[in-house]
Structures are given as C-alpha cells and as structure tokens.
Structure 1
Amino acid sequence: MQFHSSAHRRGLDEQAIFHAIRNALTVIDLEDGELDALADEVEATNYDVEALKIRRRGRPPLGSAPADVVPVRIDPELRDRVTRAAQSAGTTTSDIIRKALRHYLAVT
C-alpha cells in the first residue's frame, strides 16, 4: 500500500498509519483528501504505535498458556452424542469435551 506524501512530510510512520486504519477500510484506493484526513486523525490521536504493531494471531488462550492439542480416539456412538450435545448447547465438540474433563477431574 502506498501512502500519500503528506503523511511522510508529517513524519508519520507508514506502519502506524496502516495499523490505525487497517480494520476500518474496505477500499484501499483513497483520495488524497481522505488520506490527509486519516493522517490528521492519527497525528491528533497519538496512537501507541508499539501496541498497534503487536500481532494477535491464532485462537485466544484457554488458560494460562497456549493450549495443547490432545488427540483422543472415541467410538462413533460417543462422537455422535458429543456432537448432538454441542449442537444442542450451541457450542463446539471441543468445548463439550473440555467441560466433561473439567467436571470429571473436579469430581474425582
């Protein structure tokens, strides 16, 4: 993405501008006045550039650290029951299995 020279003249970091507007734009082809207005907003808002640079990829954590994937074999009947329970609860089979494990471990 190319940024207008007025943004450069203002000393604005291209990454700061990109991160500040990336989620708000659906069209990349901007008119000069539109980009100037966005550059003015970025300059006036004093965005935390370092915070904007942090990339949040992947799924949100489930606990205190990234979750492990634990493959488990289950029979087709149990799989069907888990699938039906998840659909009924409006959630995922993984969520049902995690809840069942937590319940089992709390009881034993």
Structure 2
Amino acid sequence: MTKYRMGPDVDLRREDVRDSQGRRITEEYAERATDDALAFVGRGRPSLTGAKAPSPQVTFRVTPELRAKAAAEAARQGRRISDVAREALERYLAS
C-alpha cells in the first residue's frame, strides 16, 4: 500500500493551494517541482562494482533488537547500516 493516494484534479489557477511553508502552488511551481523530482530518478549511491552497473542487493529480515544494535553501531562509527552489515557479512564469509 502506498503512503499517498491520488486525489481529484485541482485547477491551480482558480484554487488557492499552499505548500507546507505556506507558498501558493501555481502551475509553474508544480512544473518546477516535477522537474526537480524527475532529476533524481535513477540516482542513488555509487555502484560497488566500480562500473555504471547497479550493485547487486541482498535483503533479509532481522529482529527489532538486532536492527537497533546495528543502527547504534553505525551511528557510533558515522556510517550507514548497510556499510556495517556489508562489513560483517564479508568478515563472516572470510572466516
């Protein structure tokens, strides 16, 4: 289920619609926001392969306690949880 649902069309020339900072949303505002959002499509973290190919992903579930420990360790090291998990998996497989 998605967080947002599509609502009815709005005529921004006739209706006064505001953003979270109180600025009026116009057709131009909406076009700029769309362009800005589309500029980030396909962007993300750099590939771990060194090429421009996407890095393979591994997904698995953990207990809330393990997730909290991983988050605390990542914060302590100033790293992302994925970095800590990747390093732990590399160490485990090397042993």
Using structure 2 for the length normalisation, give the TM-score: 0.48
**Which structure features the higher share of helix residues?**
1
Higher Cα radius of gyration: 1
Q: Which has the higher contact order (CA 8 A, sep 6+)?
A: 1
